[in-house]
Amino acid sequence: MPHEPTAEQLLAGIAQHDGQALANLYDLTATNLYGLICEIVSDHNAAQNILKELFLRLWRDAKRIEAGGGSVIVWLTLDARAKAVDWQRGQNGLRTSAHSRLQALSKLMSWMPGRADMADIDKRRHLLEKLVHRLPKPQTHLLELAVLKGFTETEIAHQTEQPPGRIEHELRAGLRFLRHRLRAVMGTWSANI
């Protein structure tokens, strides 16, 4: 029985302007991406436009993304987050630069995780999710504000009426916790988890 094509095989097809490959990658990823976008933006029409633009950008940029050698699913996820954050921040009258910064970064060098890295994460997802639940609640809230809402440390400090230094310390501690647990789960660092 033939295997389903991987996301990277579909990306190779999209780079050759194969519409069916794009349709298949959409089927593979759209539910997760749309769920993420809807977590960030408050308007479903805007969320649909962001998802549509995402796949049209992929159609245009597939050759460059393929040449970068990273996971197309990570690229789609980061791109969707950046566009959604910019849309929501724009609605709130805040500076919007998440997408332009990500685009600039994507041209610097090949830093995107590869398909094998992401397969390892997906295999250990249940364990990682358990670990995230061990984060103290205030840090989880800060991570949501930064990662899903795109608020800077200064903006979070203003919103929560806490000193900026404390927000910086707590947010970075939360990210450090996650990073260390990820290393432990992925077997790249030994730690008592």
Place of tokens 């990500």: 102
The CA distance from 146 to 51, in Å, is 21
Site for another protein in 102-121 (CB under 8 A): 102, 105, 108-113, 117-118, 121
Using DSSP, state whether 47 is helix, strand or coil.
helix
Closest CA to 54 of 27, 80, 28, 75: 80
What's the sign of the alpha-carbon dihedral 106, 109, 115, 121? negative
Q: Is 6 in the site for another protein (CB under 8 A)?
A: no
Among 12, 28, 30, 94, binds another protein (CB under 8 A): 30
| Shortest separation between residue 131's beta carbon and another protein, angstroms | 10
Contact yes or no for 171/147 (Cβ under 8 A): no
Using the Cα atoms of residue 99, residue 104, residue 107 and residue 113 in order, give the sign of their dihedral: negative
52 touches another protein (CB under 8 A): yes
Residues in contact with another protein, counted by CB under 8 A, come to a total of 61
Least distance (Å) between residue 179 CB and another protein: 5
Q: Does 182 bind another protein (CB under 8 A)?
A: yes
* 26 near another protein (CB under 8 A): yes
Residue 125, Cβ density class (10 Å: 0-12 exposed, 13-18 middle, ≥19 buried): exposed
Q: Which of 6, 9, 66, 74 binds another protein (CB under 8 A)?
A: 74
Which residues of the shown chain bind another protein in the complex (CB under 8 A)?
19, 22-23, 26-27, 30-32, 34-36, 38-39, 48, 51-52, 55-56, 59-60, 73-74, 77-78, 81-82, 97-98, 101-102, 105, 108-113, 117-118, 121, 125, 128-129, 132, 143, 146-148, 150-153, 171-172, 175-176, 178-179, 182-183, 186
